[in-house]
Amino acid sequence: MGKVLMVQGTGSHAGKSLLTMALCRIFSREGLRVAPFKAQNMSLNSFVTPDGCEFSRAQAVQADAARVIPRVEMNPILLKPQDRRCSQVVAMGKPLCVTSAREYCALTPQLWPLVARSLDTLRESNDIVVMEGAGSPAEINLREHEIVNMRVARYAKAPVILVGDIDRGGVFASLLGTVALLEPEERALIRTFVINKFRGDPSLLDSGLEELKQRTGVSTAGVLPYFTDVSLPEEDSVGLENSPTVQPEPEAVLEVAVIRLPRIANFDDFDPLRREPGVRLRYVDSPGRMGSPDLVVIPGSKATVADLEWMRQRGLDRSVSAHRRDGRAVAGLCGGYQMLGQYILDPGRVESDRPRTEGLGLLPVKTVFESRKATCQVKADIVSGHGLMAGSQGNSVTGYEIHMGRTFGTGSAPFRIRERSGNPADDPEGSLDSEGLTLGTYLHGLFHNHDFRRRLLLHLAAGKNIALPEGAVLDMEREYDRLADLVNRHLDMEAIHRIAGLKP
């Protein structure tokens, strides 16, 4: 069985995913077979494995950093919030049920064997599994039912790195309080601390780290600086609030506005736009913040009808329609594509209690919700060459589909799918209006296709008679290595290897 090392945090967004990603790359560079693992993730950013299973996008990125093919065992349980009270439970890559938090607690005994079996499977085929916790292990009201933090650590007898976020303040209290609230058996598994997101001279922390060690018996492996110069996707929407644009605002020649839906899903679709030279990406949640962007995008949503009603309540539906009437571009991805159509039918009450909902009417299509969920990786040809697709006809793109329902109508389909999860296909996909300025598609990851993205942006720039700066292809291998180098510089990796039972 492979060795295990677990990364837990004092709270959400402390840096668990980032450190797990870095360790996966570090161990991979040492020639080890390494896999990430997170027993349960709550996120609306999901991905599809090559065999058509849905799991968290964060673990897919960590698998990429580890240079391994993503598999559903890396995240056996995914919770996708639908509203403040309910989430869809995706177990081993397939929808299981929709449940409240209280009902989910009663479900965990049924889910635990999937967690244990998945971890065992990964350990059998890897030298080390880097496990990630969720939230905080010190949520004492949830201890009886949790299956992602200390229960996993106890099961695997895993040494734990506890990460604290100093940027939010109170990091010493958070680390000390977390340890104090653990059971003695759990406390013994905490082997080192990591301070994350520090701005300034780390020597200022020395006295605090020494007292922390005296009080807990646990030393600190190092202090990671606050950084923004490594391009990595955010795991959840908390990160959207502070996502910087790559270019300073005065250098931007194009502006893209993404509607900040309450249940926004797969917002990592827009990371490549954020990194493009000359492009300013903004998330907007009211008409007053819309401004005059060159492209408005309605993203994916876990609750299409509810988020469409939210747009109407705020007047964003009118803003999007007015933007399009002014001759500017609009795109909708997945749930956003469904919103752009004439109407949405839900006869089986799959998503909401409304049998029919009027869409924005910007595309001549309609959507019918179905209980079956489409999850597949796809390859498609671009078969349209006007408007936003100018210069792209004949090229191919890759992406993935995650949606419930079918969308069909009389509009021109800009894509033709040639392969789904490795199987040949020949299906029209998406819709493009007659002017080529309203695009709808189910293809998540579309903007990650460099050639397509650049040609679309060049078309927008040409419409304004401006030049778009050259854009470099983002090299994720380089970004993973930069992250690994940063962690190597600032953490005592010899101590972490020793804790994990590995030779440095």
Write the pLDDT tens digit of every residue in 327-339.
999 999 999 999 9
Pick the CATH number of 237-473 from 3.60.20.10, 3.40.50.150, 3.40.50.880, 1.10.1060.10: 3.40.50.880
pLDDT digits (tens, 9 = 90+) for 211-251: 999 999 999 999 999 988 787 776 655 555 444 444 444 48
Closest by CA position to 150, among listed 163, 130, 136, 164: 136
Q: How far apart are CA 107 and CA 121, in angstroms?
A: 22
> Which amino acid, one-letter code, is at 40?
Q
Residue 453 banded pLDDT, cuts 50, 70, 90: very high
- The residues of the chain that CATH labels 3.40.50.300 are 3-230+478-500
Q: How many CB atoms lie within 10 A of CB 353?
A: 7
- The residues of the chain that CATH labels 3.40.50.880 are 237-473
| CATH class of the 3-230+478-500 domain in this structure | alpha beta
**Which residues belong to the active site?**
334, 444
- Residue 243's pLDDT is 47
* Cβ–Cβ under 8 Å, residues 171 and 179: no
Judging by DSSP bridges, how do beta strands 300-301 and 343-345 pair with one another?
Answer: unpaired
- Residue 247's pLDDT is 43
pLDDT digits (tens, 9 = 90+) for 168-218: 899 999 999 999 999 999 999 999 999 999 998 999 999 999 999 999 999
pLDDT digits (tens, 9 = 90+) for 13-65: 999 999 999 999 999 999 999 999 999 999 999 999 999 999 999 999 999 99
- Residue 116's pLDDT is 98
pLDDT digits (tens, 9 = 90+) for 106-123: 999 999 999 999 999 999
If 0-12 CB within 10 Å is exposed, 13-18 middle and 19+ buried, where does residue 78 land?
buried
Q: How far apart are CA 48 and CA 64, in angstroms?
A: 13
- Residue 235's pLDDT is 62
- Residue 427's pLDDT is 95
| The length of the chain, given as a count of residues | 504
Q: How far apart are CA 195 and CA 202, in angstroms?
A: 10
Q: How far apart are CA 10 and CA 257, in angstroms?
A: 33
DSSP SS3 for 134: coil
Contacts of 238 (CB under 8 A, 6+ apart): 12, 13
Rounded-to-5 percentages of helix, strand, coil across the chain: 35, 30, 35
- Residue 245's pLDDT is 42
Contacts of 384 (CB under 8 A, 6+ apart): 392, 393, 412, 413, 414, 415, 432, 436
Q: How far apart are CA 84 and CA 100, in angstroms?
A: 9
pLDDT at 6 over 90: yes
Q: How far apart are CA 146 and CA 199, in angstroms?
A: 33
Q: How far apart are CA 394 and CA 391, in angstroms?
A: 9
